[in-house]
Chains A and B, each alone.
Chain A
Amino acid sequence: MTEEMMERQINWASLGEVWNRYPAEVEAAIENVEASRAILLSLGQPGACLPDEPAGGGQ
């Protein structure tokens, strides 16, 4: 099971009622999060070699 699948199962368990009653809204929320996550990752991550920072630089 991937990390994302585990995360979905955990969230489904806690969100069960909302998911049952408003499945389209919950699916839209998941898509919203996936889009946000993709943008955040595209902007860079701590520890990554970023265009304006020398490799290994900073703390």
Chain B
Amino acid sequence: MALDKPVFIKPKLTLFNIIIGIILVMGLILTILRFTKGIGAVTNLDNNNPWGIWIGFDLLCGVALAAGGYVTSASCYIFGLKRYHSAVRPAILTAFLGYALVVLALHYDLGRPLRLPYPIFYSQGTSSLLFEVGLCVFLYLTVLFVEFTPAAFEWLGLKKIRAIVVKLILLLTIFGVILSTLHQSSLGALFMIVPSKLHPLWYSGYLPIYFFISSMFAGMSMVIFEGSLAHRYLENEMDATHKKEASGVAFGFAKAASLIMMGYCATKLIGLAVDNNWHFLGTSWGLWFMFEVVGFVAFPAVLFAMGSREKNLTMVRFAAIWTILGIILNRLNISIVAFNYHLPAADRYFPSLSEIGTSVFIVTLGIVAYRFITTRMPILHEHPDYKAH
């Protein structure tokens, strides 16, 4: 069980820690290179492809997969499904770290960290979708931070300020859902400015809706996946309530995700019909599109349904991983694979090793921060002094 007050824990020299250490050192070297030599020294980006995997993976996938925060807190506090209460804190923590790392990753792409507050406080581009995304991410990161603080306050023993924040939870949850609805969809809407660059099978007037709907089942899958990881590697941090409720959370979210994923497939079908894109399905791009939608949305939706119906936790966890891969595939298809599809192969973008290394570094930072917090603060268990909030 985690320590319920702050003490220093001496790090152990395990294989996991050594690998993490190597990745962090490599990341720091790449960071120095990026900010001293410029973006051209570490990336394969050019004028044709100004957005690479730092946007396609770190930002688009990061935001979608951090949707577990708003999905879980809305289920618990707005829809009153208290059986998901034990999943709220891990989901909020993942979302908070996810969004914090999205902002960190954005620094690598933009390259001028001191200018970060400019779009919000100095020069607002109110007619730009990017401004809306930036404002939402800024506000939602703040909301997530405040939603996360009760765990930190319990750990630090600050009872009075914790009591104030707990009273604000419902308000923060509503605000979080509104902000998520806005920016999850706006990230899809960003690509509506490139009708001639994005392949017609992925380009659609429904892109904002696709992004928002897919964020819901992405978030649910992340909560299931993260729960299975916590069960395996952080079991000694979990109390009896969390262990007892874990399978109920997985089956409940599997059922919900399954229905939403079928709805998503339906809207995809409607998108094809509205734009009359049927003839593209017979091409190689069409096969790739079918691979994504049937293989990574419809298939895991059926797995989720069967797993939830048969109460098969292994099947549900497998479907969650499959869905997460599908979300990553979808976001990469839109931002990289089907983007600039008409360009000759020589002009197409492929990430450099430094870009991939930086993304691995950022994900590793998230894992380290998650482990650091969950082994210290009451995330996977209730603090003995604050039972039954």
State yes or no: do A and B come from one complex.
no
Binding site for A on B (CB under 8 A): none
